[in-house]
Amino acid sequence: MKNSKTTFKEISEIFQTIEEIASRNEITEILASFYRELTSEEGEILSYLILGRVAPFFVNSEFNYSEKSLISLLEKYAKAKDIDIRVQQERDRLGDIGDTVKLFSEKCGFVSKGASLFEAYDTLWGIVKTEGNGSVERKNSIILGALESFSPLEAKYFVRVICGQLRFGISFKTLLDVFSFVVVGDKSLRLDLDRAYGICADIGYIYSCIAQKARMEAVESLKNLKIQPGIPVMPRLVERVGSFEETFERTGSPALVQPKFDGLRCQIHKYESKDFEHREYIWKKYLSRKDIGLFEQASNDVEIKLFTRNLEDVTEMFPEIAESAKAISDKSFILDSEVLGFKDGKFLPFQDTMQRRRKYSIGDASKNIPVKGMVFDVLFLNGKDLIEQDTQKRVETLSKIEMGESLELCETKEVSDLDSLMQIFHENVEKGYEGVIVKMLSGEYLPGVRNYDWIKLKKSMMNTLVDTVDLVCVGYYYGSGRRSDFGVGAILGALYNEKTDGYEAICKVGTGFSDEQLRSIKGQLETKIEEGQPQNVLCPENLKPDIWVYPEVVFTVEADEITKRLGEENIGGGLSLRFPRLVEWNRDKSSNDATRVSELIKMFEMK
């Protein structure tokens, strides 16, 4: 490890290197070599920056600064300094805000003043924490000061971070590979790293656990990591089967059955602030008391946090859930639930519930669309970690917790035969639910894991497809006729390949969209447009779109059947969807939670 502090210029140079490389394995080895030269704290910061952030996903740390504001700032600066550059024109020509700012910096003659990684990180947090009246002007001042002290290359990656356009196509999964290489030179540490990230979804903190450690010491450090309320646990996932008859072959008999809701997955945390103090997180010093907990003024400093399956903090969006959690007598817990909107005694569809995800007018929204949290599991209770207990025991423990007004205990039944299972399934479908989840009595809660301990049986099984399919939008087509006015006529959908941490396009989806949706989608995708095909996206030649977009938005489709595609069998398992149509746009899932290539192959084989 070197003695001097790492500069932001060195970080920018490594960013440039990995951006020019297509091979995931080569990127992994290059990053691992670079990490070995860093201090633990520098490695933590780099881990966030690679993902385009300054903190984990569950920490509210958005820059809230648009590319439009940046272009306006630079045009005013160029005019005041009489610099010959048309910033908007160059942005349109180059197709990338980072390259545009790099050119701007070159025209201005800016040179690097040797800012350290820590100094750049402080500056980024300064932008995040600038809020309220006049915040745009104050952010402009910070950004301009930074650009004047950066080289053109540093400026390029600095603005890409604040505009949310870093887009290396690297996820936390690739970083876990990198961490394994840092310690042992291969991927053999991944199981330990996956478990650790599963119970502490903070990529920077995970790096601090293994930094400058030999294998045995790193493994021990990861194994000592425990669940902590306030830090989200990766949600347990469910597997699908090809038929109802297969269910008990997988789970054994008897098994537990719970309703499958079409809601927003929500992890509910309650704890006292003093219990959060024993770990050092590099980002924590930048947060105010309000950021750390919603109820900072409450007696005994009781904190409540609500997290989605994407690790987003939605505490302030669902105040009735938070208040009900606070009212529960137990001092600390982590509950797993689904949040559902309801009206006139009936639960609402997912898209209606999603209207509650807003930062403003929350009071009005809660009156128009009240929500309930349907609680189906408990992971932590009164200082005790429960995830290693069997599912049956956790459900029994959960049944003894007295829920608050906007929280309701999910009904759990034990079944031993197919007739009873089918009866419960049909009862839930008639209630408007998606189906049921069947769970093995034994088995611990495995964060982020998908296996046959938990199985979903959905009403779509009654049709040709075993299940709906979650695709990632990687491009769109202009369309013709009336749809040409919307700018989007159809979407290119891709599967996630967990082996390559990439995406593989399988079909064009143009049915099921309303005119209003298409207009909205065009605006949403404009900020994600890529100049060419992203390096982490594979696409058959006959499916290539008019416009490529960064793989981020997940949408759900149903189709008549899964079909074999002739040619290019190496993409998407050689499969496609016949007559795909939209079910839900912009699901509450990250792109690597979309349906995997291996899953679609399995679904094809089931039928």
Distances (CA, A) of 346 to 176, 343, 428: 43, 5, 13
Measured N-to-C along each axis, helices 203-210 and 215-223 cross at an angle, to the nearest 10 degrees, of 140
Q: How far apart are CA 565 and CA 542, in angstroms?
A: 11
CA dihedral 49→196→219→170, nearest 10 degrees, is -30
Cα 8 to Cα 588: distance, rounded to the nearest angstrom? 34
Question: Which H/E stretch holds residue 504?
Answer: strand 502-509
Residues in the chain: 607
Instruction: Give me the phi and psi of 70, to 5 degrees please.
Output: -65, -45
Residues 304/295, Cβ–Cβ less than 8 Å? yes
How crowded is residue 438: how many other Cβ atoms within 10 Å of its Cβ?
Answer: 27
- Residue 236 per-residue DSSP state: P
Active-site annotation holder among 9, 139, 260, 528: 260
Do residues 305 and 231 touch, judged by C-beta distance below 8 A?
Answer: no
Residue 328 near residue 402 (C-beta atoms within 8 A): yes
Nearest one of 188, 234, 233 to 210, comparing CA atoms: 188
| Paired residues of 407 in beta bridges | 373
Contact of 537 with 503, CB cutoff 8 Å = yes
CA distance 460 to 558: 8
Amino acid occupying residue 521 = I
Of 491, 481, 547, whose CA–CA distance to 518 is shortest? Answer: 491
Q: Answer yes or no: 223 catalytic.
A: no
Contacting residues for 529 by C-beta, under 8 A, at least 6 apart: 95, 547, 548, 549, 550
Per the CB < 8 A criterion, the answer to whether 316 and 362 are in contact is yes
Residue 495 CA to residue 604 CA, distance in Å, equals 14
For residue 460, which amino acid is it? S
One-letter identity of residue 112: S
Distance from CA of residue 115 to its chain's centroid?
Answer: 31
Sign of the torsion angle spanned by Cα atoms 287, 292, 295, 300: negative
DSSP H or E run through 529:
strand 529-530
Q: Any idea which residues carry the catalytic annotation? A: 260
